[in-house]
Amino acid sequence: MIEKSCAFTGHRPQSLPWGYHETDARCIALKKALAGQIVERVNAGYTDFFSGMAEGVDTWAALTVLALKKENPTLKLHCILPCKGQADRWQTSARELYASILKQADEIVWVSEAYSRGCMLDRNRYLVDHTACLLAVYNGNWRSGTAMTVRYARKLGREIILLRPF
C-alpha cells in the first residue's frame, strides 16, 4: 500500500440520475465536488491516484488528476484495468478518451489478461489493497460494484470519502 495514495470508485453513467448527459447541472456539480476532493488530497500530500478506468466517475477522476499533473508533476496516475479490451464495446468517443488517458498514465496494470466473471471485482480489490484512501461516488445501491468496493475498504480500515451523486 502506498501511504499517500487514493483510489477512485463510482457508478457508470447509466446508474447516475442524468445518464450520459454530462451537461446536466447535477453532473457538473458532481464533477466539481469530485475535483475538489482530489485537490484536498493533493493539498494533504497525496501523490498517487488509482483509477479503475470505468466510464463515468473513474474517467472523470483520472482526467482531474491529469489536469493537476500539469501544475504538479509529482502526481502519478495509476490505471488499474480489469482486463485487456475493457473499452472494446464502448462508444467511439469513450474509447478515444480512454486511450488518451492511458497514454498519459504513469502506470497501467491489467489485473487479468482476458475478461472473466471476477475480473471487475479483482480490479476493485486491487485498488483498495494498494491505496490508503478510497474516494467513492456512491448512490446507496447495496448491490453494485461500487458498494462492494466501499464495503471492502471498510473491512480493511481504509479512509473512505463518500460523495452522493444527487
In the chain the beta strands, taken as DSSP E runs, fall at: 2-10, 48-51, 76-81, 107-110, 131-137, 159-163
Tell me the β-bridge partners of 49.
Answer: 6, 77
User: What does the pLDDT read at residue 15?
Assistant: 83
The 3-class SS string of 115-138 reads CCCCHHHHHHHHHHHCEEEEEEEC
For residue 157, the model assigns a pLDDT of: 97
Three cell numbers, residue 22: 454530462
Res. 162: pLDDT tops 90: yes
Contact 76, 106 (CB under 8 A): yes
pLDDT of residue 2: 81
Question: pLDDT tens digit string along 10-68?
Answer: 988 888 889 898 998 999 999 999 999 999 999 999 999 999 999 999 999 999 999 99
Q: Would you say 101 and 62 are in contact if contact means Cβ atoms under 8 Å apart?
A: yes
Determine the pLDDT at residue 74.
Answer: 97
- Percent residues over pLDDT 90 in the chain: 86
Higher pLDDT, 66 or 1: 66
For residue 11, the model assigns a pLDDT of: 86
CA angle 139, 11, 90 (to 5 degrees): 155
pTM of the predicted protein model: 0.95
pLDDT band at 165 (very low <50, low <70, confident <90, very high): confident
User: Of the candidates 140, 112, 106, 144, which has an alpha carbon nearest to the alpha carbon of residue 126?
Assistant: 112
Residue 1: predicted pLDDT: 65
pLDDT at 33: 96
pLDDT of residue 29: 93
